[in-house]
């Protein structure tokens, strides 16, 4: 117990203190990007890592999250925080609809189905220009701290917001996997037949996991919007999905912190080594290849972190 | 009072009747064996009862309720839990975790207690752990509790399967060839364990090829051949049934001799 607490406290402390050491504003931006991308990867980990399917349209929920937030602020006149809640609920509902329809499929068919939905949503946003301003995009301002006049315009404060959200999402992940639902997900991943024979409703559990995943993706999108300042239908494109997928696969699918490692490799390392974008693609491709060949379970497996199931087991004192 | 009653159960695959108008009943507290040569339709029968495939015709009653056409997880929830012919365990989990997850139906009632880590859930967990230990002890797997399931030898994997099914606390335990691939000692031990399971108040329906196991264990035996039921009775009756001997036991005795 003490050990697991420490395992969380030490990294948390490091991330809390980083901005005090790293004063270069450019590095701070990279860290914020890292945080937001890791949320996208956490979201995809629910599908790739736990359900065991690949969603090729996941950026749709990242983009929808951002758009729902921006549009509710624009048309309902609510503030950022209310729009955040509304956006999570709305995206979750869309996720329920998409999950309900697509999770009957498996493998390639599921991937294509999610990709198709993502394109539909992207084209809708692109073409409903009267409301969404189409390809022009919508600009989104930085929010204020609730009940105060302090703007999160400074990257330092925004960094702490993103950091807090990442911590909450990780804690949420841990909680979920200690519940019967979490165990059901692990069971389904290992053997669907056996899972259903002991009373687990497979489709329902998968849909629930999918909805949770879309809500986390929306959370990433809602945060990304005011950080970047403008959102375009491009946010729903397969580019973001692919980035997220690479992070999950490289980081270690199905591992609690896998997405975090993956996001780190894809956002922070290129900056440290000063790679040009073209060079990045080459290096990422190479990394992915090496990863699939030599550590198919990702970085997390190398770090010998126990899978969630084992964490729960350890907690139970066995 | 019969716990499971199937009536004129039929399954056609194209023109072929894998199960053809089969009826039998399993009494509360009994051990019933379902035997027959390869391709007789025993496993299809299992799949029909447990909801993995839907019957073309016929009806399955369980504990006085019509369960025909329900989904496997719904049937498990009613209290009929099966194992598989092809060994199926959660191989990335430890033996202990397998038996904990087996108790899903019990723990799923406490979803929110678990999420909010209420103290009540700690009690549920403790109860589940206690039960897991009991089941592993019964199956003789307690020493291997911390092993990863994938590292178990074959005989113990088959036992773990039964342990998982037991963890779901079924009224009816359906075992699909539990002794397949076991040696003499292991299958003799299996017979003991299944008796203990019955004595703890469960009803058992078992598909099995190993005649020794079936004859030693079952109160009633149902014999199938080419999709049809050809006989039903006590082991003694089955042993002397002319038709059974013709299609099935004759073969076995030849092999044994």
- Contacting B residues, span 66-125, partner chain A, CB-CB under 8 Å: 71-73, 76-77, 81-84, 88-94, 96-97, 100-102, 104-105, 107-108, 110-111, 114-115, 117, 125
Mutate one of A199, A209, A254, A313 to test the B interface: name it (highest B CB count within 10 A): A199
Q: How far apart are CA A121 and CA A146, in angstroms?
A: 31
Please name every residue paired with B94 in a beta bridge, in sequence order, or none if there are none: B148
- pLDDT < 70 regions, chain B: 248-257
Nearest CA-CA partner of B143 in B97, B89, B95? B95
Q: Which of A93, A96, A56 is nearest to A203 (CA)?
A: A96
Mind listing the pLDDT tens digit for each residue in A160-209?
899 999 999 998 998 888 889 989 998 998 888 899 999 999 989 999 99
| ipTM confidence score | 0.86
> CA A214, CA A117: separation in Å to the nearest integer?
13
Please check whether residue B129 touches A, CB under 8 A: yes
pTM recorded for the entire structure: 0.85
Asked if B169 and B189 count as a contact pair (C-beta separation under 8 A), the reply is: no
Cβ-nearest to B73 among A178, A186, A196? A196
Q: A107-127 and A59-76 are packed helices; what angle lies between their axes, rounded to 10 degrees? A: 30
Size of interface A-B (CB pairs under 8 A): 97
Contacts of A174 in chain B (CB under 8 A): none
**pLDDT value of residue A2:** 55
Chain A residues with CB under 8 Å of a chain B CB are: 175-176, 178-181, 183-184, 186-187, 190-191, 193-194, 196-202, 307, 309-310, 312-313, 316, 318
Q: Would you call A313 and B52 a contact, using CB atoms and an 8 Å cutoff?
A: no
Helices (H) and strands (E) in chain A, counts: 16, 2
Residue partners of A133: CB distance under 8 A and separation at least 6 = none
**Is B76–A196 a contact, with Cβ atoms under 8 angstroms apart?**
yes
DSSP code, position A2? H
- Residues recorded for chain B: 257
Contact B206, B33 (CB under 8 A): yes
Residues of chain A whose pLDDT is less than 50?
A: 1, 305-309, 311-318
- Residues of B within 8 A of A316 (CB-CB) are 125, 129
State how far the Cα of A187 lies from the Cα of B168, in Å rounded to an integer: 14
Q: Which two tokens stand for residue A206?
A: 């998968």
Give whole-number Cα distances, A207 to A69, A191, B104, in Å: 23, 17, 18
Interface of B with A in 142-161 (CB under 8 A): 145-146
Q: Nearest CB to A194: which of B88, B100, B125?
A: B88
Residue of chain A whose alpha carbon sits nearest to that of B102: A198
Q: Using CB atoms within 10 A of its CB, is residue A98 exposed (0-12), middle (13-18) or buried (19+)?
A: buried
Q: In which region does residue A15 sit, left (phi positive, over 0), alpha (psi from -120 to 50) or beta (all else)?
A: alpha
Cα distance from B188 to chain A (closest Cα, Å)?
26
Tell me what pLDDT residue A314 has: 45
Q: At what angle do helices A59-76 and A25-45 cross, to 10 degrees?
A: 110
Task: Give the pair of three-digit tokens for residue A102.
Answer: 């697509």
* Nearest residue, CB atoms, B93 vs list A193, A200, A309: A309
Measure the N-to-C terminal CA separation of chain B; round to a whole number of Å.
Answer: 40
Residue whose C-alpha is closest to residue A305's, from A291, A295, A317:
A295
Q: Can you point out the beta strands (E) in B177-250?
A: 203-207, 220-225, 228-233
Asked whether A87 and A222 are in contact (CB, 8 A), the reply is: yes
Chain A contact set for B89 (CB, 8 A):
191, 194
Q: Mind listing the domains of chain A with CATH numbers?
A: 24-316 (1.10.3470)
CA of B127 to nearest chain A CA: how many angstroms apart?
12
């Amino acid at each position: 117990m003490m050990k697991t607490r420490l395992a969380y406290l030490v990294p948390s402390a490091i991330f809390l203190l980083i901005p005090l050491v790293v004063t270069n504003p450019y590095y701070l931006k990279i860290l914020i990007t890292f945080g937001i991308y890791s949320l996208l990867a956490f979201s995809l980990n629910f599908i790739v890592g736990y359900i065991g399917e690949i969603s090729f349209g996941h950026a749709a929920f990242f983009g929808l999250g951002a758009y729902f937030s921006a549009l509710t602020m624009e048309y309902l006149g609510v503030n950022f925080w209310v729009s955040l809640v509304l956006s999570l609920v709305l995206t979750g509902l869309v996720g329920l609809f998409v999950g309900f329809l697509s999770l009957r499929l498996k493998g390639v068919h599921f991937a294509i189905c999610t990709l198709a939905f993502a394109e539909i949503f992207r084209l809708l946003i692109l073409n409903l220009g009267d409301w969404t301003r189409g390809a022009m995009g919508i600009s989104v301002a930085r929010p204020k701290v609730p009940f105060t006049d302090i703007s999160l315009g400074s990257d330092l404060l925004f960094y702490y917001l993103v950091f807090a959200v990442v911590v909450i999402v990780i804690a949420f992940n841990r909680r979920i996997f200690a519940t019967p639902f979490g165990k059901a997900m692990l069971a389904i991943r290992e053997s669907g037949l056996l899972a259903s024979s002991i009373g687990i409703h497979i489709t329902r559990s998968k849909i629930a996991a999918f909805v949770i995943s879309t809500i986390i993706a929306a959370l990433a999108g809602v945060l990304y919007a005011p950080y970047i300042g403008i959102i375009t239908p491009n946010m729903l494109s397969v580019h973001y999905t692919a980035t997220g997928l690479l992070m999950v696969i490289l980081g270690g699918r199905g591992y609690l912190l896998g997405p975090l490692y993956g996001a780190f490799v894809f956002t922070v390392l290129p900056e440290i080594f000063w790679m040009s974008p073209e060079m990045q693609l080459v290096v990422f491709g190479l990394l992915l290849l090496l990863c699939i060949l030599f550590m198919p379970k990702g970085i997390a497996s190398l770090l010998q972190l126990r899978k969630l199931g084992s964490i729960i087991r350890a907690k139970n004192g066995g | 009072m019969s716990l499971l009653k199937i009536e004129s159960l039929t399954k056609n695959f194209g023109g072929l009747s894998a199960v053809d108008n089969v009826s039998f009943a399993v009494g509360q507290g009994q051990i019933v064996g379902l035997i027959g040569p390869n391709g007789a339709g025993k496993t299809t029968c299992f799949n029909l009862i447990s909801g993995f495939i839907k019957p073309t015709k016929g009806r399955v009653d369980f504990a006085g309720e019509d369960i025909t056409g329900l989904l496997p997880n719904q049937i498990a929830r009613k209290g009929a839990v099966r194992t598989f012919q092809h060994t199926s365990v959660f191989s990335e989990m430890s033996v202990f975790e397998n038996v904990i997850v087996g108790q899903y139906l019990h723990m799923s009632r406490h979803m929110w207690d678990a999420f909010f880590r209420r103290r009540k859930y700690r009690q549920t967990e403790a109860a589940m752990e206690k039960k897991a230990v009991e089941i592993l002890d019964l199956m003789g797997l307690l020493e291997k509790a911390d092993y990863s399931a994938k590292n178990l030898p074959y005989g113990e994997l088959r036992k773990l399967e039964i342990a998982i099914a037991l963890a779901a606390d079924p009224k009816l335990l359906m075992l699909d060839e539990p002794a397949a691939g076991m040696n003499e000692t292991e299958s003799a031990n299996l017979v003991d364990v299944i008796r203990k399971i019955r004595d703890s108040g469960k009803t058992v329906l078992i598909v099995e090829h190993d005649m020794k196991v079936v004859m030693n264990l079952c109160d009633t035996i149902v014999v199938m051949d080419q999709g049809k039921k050809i006989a039903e009775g006590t082991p003694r009756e089955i042993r002397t049934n002319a038709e059974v001997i013709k299609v099935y036991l004759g073969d076995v005795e030849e092999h044994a001799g």
